Structure 1
């Protein structure tokens, strides 16, 4: 078995067996390292609706100010190879040198983030399923190393569907495995560069479930410099946590850390289950307490057709009642 085949088998195994995003991406990173040498990596899950990052697994160790600058650039959407551009590309993959025509210094991400970290080459690959983006694979090589080859690009791009399926599967399992927590919101104070200056014990409780807290705090702080901002992050145990930041005085940012509320994550979980547009409408009404008769009236469908949709939804989500459905979708929410 060749190197690529061995790596592909390892990645397929990780995507088919992992029960959490950290476990999934650790397996993907290990598999990639066998076939595509890189000096650093950053693997992300994305919210399909907004293309915003929901989880990151990486071996970068940047200063919080560099992290903040990275997310500032990403939020602007003006640099090369943003997720939206890759989503429109048939291959869904590109290198920094390709995108800049061999002039990486034209990229703010290269000038302000990669070069200070000693990285010269970047490969970005979108992980998508049925053209729905679920994640991003970012590989980096140090200054003086060769750029990623056409073969490297093609191989990593060929894994996009597998990784996307793995992310979807893991989100579904996380929603099923997660348990509610009675702990309320917490508060932390950070400076504008993203460095944490104070955290309450309750904030510490929620942050303890997140990998790389500095990364997520710098990310939300970078978005809150001019006003309120919120991000949602998937924790190691499948629960979703919201970080809501807003300016606090001239040089500080306050961040409320709390379990994510139903409406903020349910849409993404529903997407992960592969429900049709009509089935999503049924889920929304079921979660709102509508009866089959009421749904029939709202949707303009017969009760028989509504009943068929309900059965299909229950089957895909592996539940047997409306109560189980609500618990499955909103298991990440503090009750």
Structure 2
């Protein structure tokens, strides 16, 4: 009898593996793959509500969430989950702890000491959803990096068994590899929106604004305040340039939370006393470097170069910081371009922004301008 159960369990696992691999080949992005994976699991291991999310391998923070039959009557589901997972309660970092376990799957009753009904995850997540049991998972790819996490829930009277958890643990790596591949496959499909032109402010010799492009005005309007106040960041950058004589690179934050980079430099040939041009462009979160390094398997040196590129530094500046020649910097850049599939710095920056930065909009922003939240807006069916 035991042998028959073992054979049946092995058949279930192999069927799940095969179906998940097919789903990974048939989908073009993490959202579609996660939906397909949840559907595959549900046919073999029934559950009432479920979620699969991608994670930044460098931080293990969830960066998107695809849910099945999960409602949010309070409107605070994201905040509650984030507070529990990344806060200071005894139940924080459950996915981080699970990532250190070889099996990568665990029932809530095994993760919590004492009566599970007294625990915050039960009281704040399971009970409001009418659920009574939960299995949490982490998904590693073939590179042994954690590319995502998930949770499956069941209502009263239908708890998960050890065989369910074992089967889920057996297929976790297929899901992790599927998430990794879907991130790579999605990247070239993320087409950058074409802006309305350059964001440029011209400041005259008297520190009065002479002209502003529509794109720059759009950025400055988001600073808030009246028409005079909103120009202050550009004028301040110009004044700093006049006082220093060197190109000024600074950052500012819009009222809606986006970081921008301002550059100020000479427009004509009359030195710092002449007209000054100030350009504006979106800033980029620092953790993009860690994610892209893992995703495209950049070397440590290439990763360092990429970080400087996203900081808007020139080849000469990068060479000075890294104590290498600009020609060596260019060699690293060529290798980065080849691995990521772009042909220039401009394409690289656009690719990284729209493939890895833009999808995180809607998540909380940390004090350094980097996204630190766990969900991607608009991804819940």
Q: Give the alignment's TM-score, normalised by structure 2.
A: 0.60
User: 1:99 deviation in Å?
Assistant: 1.4
Write the mapping of 1:104-183 to structure 2, written as runs, cut at 5 A. Answer: 104-129=116-141, 130-149=143-162, 151-181=163-193
Q: Does 1:30 align with 2:51?
A: no
User: In structure 2, how many angstroms separate the alpha carbons of the residues matched to 1:300 and 1:256?
Assistant: 35
User: In structure 2, how many angstroms separate the alpha carbons of the residues matched to 1:17 and 1:274?
Assistant: 24
User: 1:302 deviation in Å?
Assistant: 6.0
Q: Is the 8 A contact 2:192 2:351 kept in 1?
A: no
Alignment partner, residue 263 of structure 1: 285
SS state of the match for residue 138, structure 1?
strand
User: 1:82 deviation in Å?
Assistant: 1.2
Q: Is the 8 A contact 1:171 1:269 kept in 2?
A: no
- Cα RMSD of the aligned pairs, angstroms, is 3.4
Alignment partner, residue 329 of structure 1: 352
User: 1:107 deviation in Å?
Assistant: 1.9
Q: Considering only CA atoms, is the larger Rg found in Structure 1 or Structure 2?
A: 2
Q: Map Cα deviations across residues 29-66 of structure 1 (whole Å, 9 max, x no partner).
A: 11111322212211111233443322111121131256
Alignment partner, residue 314 of structure 2: 290
Q: Which structure's residues are more often strand, by fraction?
A: 1
User: 1:160 deviation in Å?
Assistant: 2.7
User: 1:25 deviation in Å?
Assistant: 0.7
SS state of the match for residue 161, structure 1?
helix
Q: Map Cα deviations across residues 81-100 of structure 1 (whole Å, 9 max, x no partner).
A: 71221122222221111112
User: In structure 2, how many angstroms separate the alpha carbons of the residues matched to 1:107 and 1:138?
Assistant: 17
Q: Does 1:42 align with 2:54?
A: no
Alignment partner, residue 74 of structure 2: 64
Q: Map Cα deviations across residues 107-158 of structure 1 (whole Å, 9 max, x no partner).
A: 2111222123221111111112344322112111111113232x32232223
Number of equivalences: 265
Q: 1:154 to 1:321 in 2, by over 3 A?
A: same
Indicate the larger mover: 31-40 or 45-54.
Answer: 45-54
Indicate the larger mover: 173-182 or 24-33.
Answer: 173-182
User: 1:14 deviation in Å?
Assistant: 1.9
SS state of the match for residue 53, structure 1?
coil
User: In structure 1, how many angstroms separate the alpha carbons of the residues matched to 2:168 and 2:30?
Assistant: 19
SS state of the match for residue 144, structure 1?
coil
Indicate the larger mover: 310-319 or 35-44.
Answer: 310-319
User: 1:24 deviation in Å?
Assistant: 1.0
Instruction: Give the alignment partner of residue 314 of structure 1, picking from 337, 341, 361.
Output: 337
Q: 1:97 to 1:80 in 2, by over 3 A?
A: farther
Q: Map Cα deviations across residues 168-226 of structure 1 (whole Å, 9 max, x no partner).
A: 33333333221233689xxxxxxxxxxxxxxxxxxxxxxxxxxxxxxxxxxxxxxxxxx
Write the mapping of 1:95-106 to structure 2, written as runs, cut at 5 A. Answer: 95-101=107-113, 103-106=115-118
User: In structure 2, how many angstroms separate the alpha carbons of the residues matched to 1:272 and 1:138?
Assistant: 24
Q: Does 1:6 align with 2:15?
A: yes
SS state of the match for residue 132, structure 2?
strand
SS state of the match for residue 119, structure 1?
coil
Q: Is the 8 A contact 1:123 1:148 kept in 2?
A: no
Q: 1:255 to 1:40 in 2, by over 3 A?
A: farther
Q: Give the alignment's TM-score, normalised by structure 1.
A: 0.67
Q: 1:116 to 1:164 in 2, by over 3 A?
A: same
Alignment partner, residue 297 of structure 2: 274
Q: Map Cα deviations across residues 208-259 of structure 1 (whole Å, 9 max, x no partner).
A: xxxxxxxxxxxxxxxxxxxxxxxxxxxxxxxxxxxx9xxxxxxxxx976999
Q: Is the 8 A contact 2:55 2:62 kept in 1?
A: yes
